[in-house]
Amino acid sequence: MTNNLENKKGFLILIHVMAWGLVFGTPFFFVDKDSPEMMWKKYLDFCVIPVSSILIFYANYLFLINRLLFKKKIVKYIIINTLMIVALLISMEIWRDWVSPKQVIEAYRIEKRVDDDNQIREYRIPLHLGKPNIYKKIFFTSRDLFPLVLIIGLSVAIRMTQNWYRLEAERRELEKSKTEAELKNLKNQLNPHFLFNTLNNIYSLIEFSPPKAQQSIQDLSKLLRYVLYDNQHFVPISKELVFIENYIALMKIRLSDAVQVEVNISDGINPDTKIAPLLFITLIENSFKHGISYSEHSFIHINLYEDENNHIVCRIENSYFPKNDKSKSGFGIGLVNLRKRLALLYPERHTLTIEKEKDTFRAILILPKL
């Protein structure tokens, strides 16, 4: 982070140096080089406006805009800039009087006369033009004033643009931090919910099959290791699929032959595709919790594949046996958190369809590739 800031600062300084170097270097291609002394006098005369522009630009860019304009001290900002402009205009006139080449422009009229030798000759009669009138003074002052006002506007525009980008970056960073905090909070809710439901399944095994219960606890430890430690914000789908298969195997231990479980995971899914973890498992967990009856025929069909639009699709269909109030432990928490996580991780880029019929529950989750 520090290196990025230093690089951006160095790049910004380089841009400033190159821009002003171009301004001060351009006149060398146009001034008369026959007389070195005259060339330098003309160049120094040219430098009047650029030097004044630098002074007023950085006075605004580095100090006045941040300390006055952005703090709504507009009147004070205008007064200080007005005083600076007046001081610079006076300094520019003094500069030109002392440094600029003195180019005397003579005005004269041609007059023909007959000399003593009866020859007609032409004579130049100088004209006294007097001092420049008020209109010329206004013109020259305006000529110097306009670049200074333009430079002030440029410094304000640049600083306001930079300020907007800075605020936008801070806003994005704040939103990112907020999103990560929300995701962490949802994940913290998901982990105990997942553990609670899985322990309920293992608890039911203890009574009639202690060896299976022991094996289930070992399998559960592997699942929890992935849930708590191994997954990041996004993981290869291959890891997620292994986790799903292990979870389904754990859930099937306590099922009777009356429960039909079909799992179809397509071989066409690219194993390196990145997805957010623990999204599909919420739907699968929900199907085992609400799709099984020990007194009636029940089924769970799970399909994971990649569709023609290169989206990852999880389609789950199961028999539906609504729970009574006593057995609704955490009912709905998983789906509510799933919708929140999808809104944060795949905003407006996912499709979650939940359909409930009389005795069938269907869930379809479609995720784009990252």
Q: Amino acid identity of 259?
A: V
Q: Share the mean pLDDT of the chain.
A: 78
Task: Report domain extents, the chain.
Answer: 2-103, 181-367
User: Domain 181-367 belongs to what architecture?
Assistant: 2-Layer Sandwich (3.30)
Residue with tokens 């000529």: 143
What amino acid occupies position 262?
E
| pLDDT value at residue 104 | 43
- Could you tell me if 163 and 174 are in contact, meaning their C-beta atoms sit under 8 angstroms apart? no
Confidence at residue 140, expressed as pLDDT on a 0 to 100 scale: 62
The phi, psi pair for 310, rounded to 5°, reads: 65, 30
Look at strands 108-114 and 120-126 and give their pairing.
Answer: antiparallel
Stretch 302-306: mean pLDDT: 96
Residue 332 gets the label, from left (phi > 0), alpha (psi -120 to 50) or beta, of left
189 three-class SS: helix
* Gap between the Cα atoms of 196 and 37, Å rounded: 91
* pLDDT (0 to 100) of residue 266: 93
Residue pLDDT, tens place only, 229-277: 765 778 899 999 998 998 888 888 777 778 899 999 999 999 999 998 8
Q: What is the pLDDT, as a whole number, of residue 103? A: 46
pLDDT, tens digit, 9 for 90 and up, residues 209-223 = 777 777 777 777 777
Handedness of CA 150, 155, 160, 162 (dihedral sign): positive
Predicted confidence at residue 59, as pLDDT, reads 92
Rounded Cα distance between 64 and 86, Å, is 17
Enumerate residues 6+ apart whose C-beta is below 8 A from 87.
none
pLDDT for 145 equals 86
Q: What type of residue is 194?
A: F
Give the residue, 133 or 297, on which the prediction is more confident.
297
Alpha-carbon distance 247 to 266, whole Å?
18
Predicted confidence band of residue 193 (pLDDT cuts 50, 70, 90):
low
Q: Are 126 and 108 in contact (CB under 8 A)?
A: yes
Backbone angles phi, psi at 120, to 5 degrees: -90, 125
Number of other residues whose CB lies within 10 A of the CB of residue 271:
11
DSSP H or E segment with residue 187: helix 134-208
Q: Taking 80 as the threshold, does the pLDDT of residue 310 lie above it?
A: yes
Cα distances from 263 to residues 13, 241, 248, 258, 266, in angstroms, run 61, 11, 9, 16, 10
Whole-structure pTM value: 0.54
Q: Is the pLDDT of residue 83 over 90?
A: yes
Model confidence pLDDT, tens digit, residues 14-34: 888 888 877 777 766 665 555
**313, β-bridge pairs:** 305, 366
Q: Give CA–CA dist 143/136, Å, rounded.
A: 10
Would you call 202 helix, strand, or coil by DSSP?
A: helix
How would residue 330 be classed by pLDDT, with cut points 50, 70 and 90?
A: very low
Res 5: pLDDT: 56
Residue 330's nearest CA partner among 191, 206, 179 is 191
Q: Is the pLDDT confidence value at 180 over 80? A: no
